[in-house]
Amino acid sequence: MVHYEIEGGHRLEGECRIQGSKNAVLPMMAAALLQRGTVILHNCPRILDVFCMIRILEHLGCRVDWDGHTLLIDAYELRGCAVPREEAKKMRSSVILLGALLGRRRRAVLCCPGGCVIGERPIDLHLAALSSMGAEICQEEEDICVETGGLHGARICLRFPSVGATENILLGAVLADGETVIRNAAREPEIMELCRLLRQMGAKIAGDGTARICVQGVRKLHGTEITVMPDRIVAGTYLLAAAGCGGSLYLPEAPVRQLACLRRLYACWGMTWREKGGSLYVQSAGDYPAVRYVETRPYPGFPTDLQSPLAAVLLKAKGESCIRETIFESRFRAAEEFRKLGADVQIAGQLCRIRGREKLRGAVLDAYELRGGAALIVAGLMAEGASVVRDEGFLERGYEHIVEDLRGAGAALTCRRSLPTAAK
């Protein structure tokens, strides 16, 4: 158990460097399985989900080494096809190994993946797509076994632009026989980052960043070296913390083009937002109106991963705000915790209504998932007095150094562990 101890009421003033992207690097690590050499990932975040994926890759026969924030993955002796149950239960992203293992080994065994408790998140889109490419699927109790005599190209139209399903199709298609066309594909920057890596490995992909992606299968891929883009969700979390606490924040090498939804919010709030040469400077007086209505949507809409941190900021907005969550059905766990701070929050199905209050009071809060945990940190920084966020490791799945980053910007935030964690 990790306890984040907060003394609220301090303005943020300083600089935060943004780590490499969690949601980009995990599928990139899976992509390393598709070649028989070495893939080198620079700017790789040292977070729990990455360490979990490393253990999976090592179990499958890869050699993985760290050099600072550079990760080297040698997949020459890949021999396994079964993802360890213990690791798959910890991390939802383990599902993207299906496409990579089918492409390289023609067989994959995976138990139903775990991760945060934010909804059902079924993988039927993944399985249906792989089936249309020639995979045979057998499910026994909790295990999914997927086999193929060789994947082939297909025309696939996703009923929802799922990021994970799009990634799995890409990973399966690059070595498949023929052309694969994905319609209603996810457009997230993380999809483009995976395609950038795959192209450097020798894949033929066009259309990423649009709703129609075409992949022409090739016979083999090769190793390469690439720098992982900054994490837009981490950057968004810090920008929302600055908006709610007041003060100024400088983010060098920020993913500014991926943060248009927050730029629009800053404009509505009358706050300063200045971009220059890929860096970002923001300033807030900590005094801002409510947001009448925000709805989470696939990219380029407002990201579900920033819904909870936004809700934290709106706890002190002037007036009533409304957020509709359209991606996950159980992502208001943090909103329920906000009430302990004295917040006026009402939840009805997928709607969360927040009547802003001038003051919040410190409290003991419990994190139940990754982004909700970050939102509780933001809310604690905005409240008066002391708060504690109790967390069973969710935050460290996606934030490498949230305490150091925010303390460097003036936050009174410390971390205490009640039990030792595994060595990183």
- Of 173, 191, 218, the residue that ends a domain is 218
**Residue 227 included in any domain:** no
Over residues 158-162, the mean pLDDT reads: 96
Q: Report the C-alpha gap between 359 and 66 in whole angstroms.
A: 45
Do 367 and 341 belong to one domain?
Answer: yes
Over residues 39-50, the mean pLDDT reads: 98
Do 13 and 35 belong to one domain?
Answer: no
3 pLDDT more than 50: yes
**Residue 187 included in any domain:** yes
Do 260 and 397 belong to one domain?
Answer: yes
164 pLDDT more than 90: yes
Range of the domain at 362: 2-19+232-417
Query: Rg (Cα) of the chain, in Å, rounded?
Result: 21
Q: pLDDT tens digits, residue range 193-229? A: 999 999 999 999 999 999 999 999 999 999 999 999 9
Q: pLDDT tens digits, residue range 380-399? A: 999 999 999 999 999 999 99
330 pLDDT more than 90: no
**415 catalytic per annotation:** no
Domains in the chain: how many in total? 2
Q: Which of 89-93, 236-240, 252-256 has the lowest mean pLDDT?
A: 89-93
On average, the pLDDT of the chain sits at: 94
**Banded model confidence at residue 67, pLDDT cuts 50, 70, 90:** very high
329 pLDDT more than 80: no
Q: Which residues contact 249 (CB under 8 A, 6 or more apart)?
A: 12, 13, 14, 15, 16, 238, 239, 242, 281, 282, 283, 409
Q: What is the pLDDT of residue 420?
A: 47
Phi, psi of 14 (to 5 degrees): 155, -160
**Residue 61 included in any domain:** yes
- Of 174, 190, 218, the residue that ends a domain is 218
Q: Which residues contact 145 (CB under 8 A, 6 or more apart)?
A: 107, 108, 109, 137, 138, 139
CATH code, domain with 57: 3.65.10.10
Q: What is the pLDDT of residue 123?
A: 87
Do 180 and 246 belong to one domain?
Answer: no
Do 11 and 103 belong to one domain?
Answer: no
Whole-prediction pTM: 0.95
Over residues 4-15, the mean pLDDT reads: 97
Do 7 and 120 belong to one domain?
Answer: no
Do 51 and 13 belong to one domain?
Answer: no
Q: What is the pLDDT of residue 419?
A: 55
Q: pLDDT tens digits, residue range 77-131? A: 999 999 999 999 888 889 999 999 999 999 999 987 754 443 445 788 999 999 9
**Residue 315 included in any domain:** yes
32 pLDDT more than 60: yes
Q: What is the pLDDT of residue 118?
A: 36
Do 141 and 163 belong to one domain?
Answer: yes
421 pLDDT more than 50: no
Over residues 130-146, the mean pLDDT reads: 91
Q: Which of 44, 116, 195, 352 is catalytic?
A: 116
Do 312 and 212 belong to one domain?
Answer: no
Do 129 and 74 belong to one domain?
Answer: yes
**Residue 422 included in any domain:** no
19 pLDDT more than 60: yes
Indicate the angle between helix axes 97-105 and 163-173, nearest 10 degrees.
10
Q: What is the pLDDT of residue 112?
A: 75
Name the residue type at position 353.
Answer: R
Do 285 and 407 belong to one domain?
Answer: yes
Do 204 and 243 belong to one domain?
Answer: no
**Residue 42 included in any domain:** yes
**Residue 223 included in any domain:** no
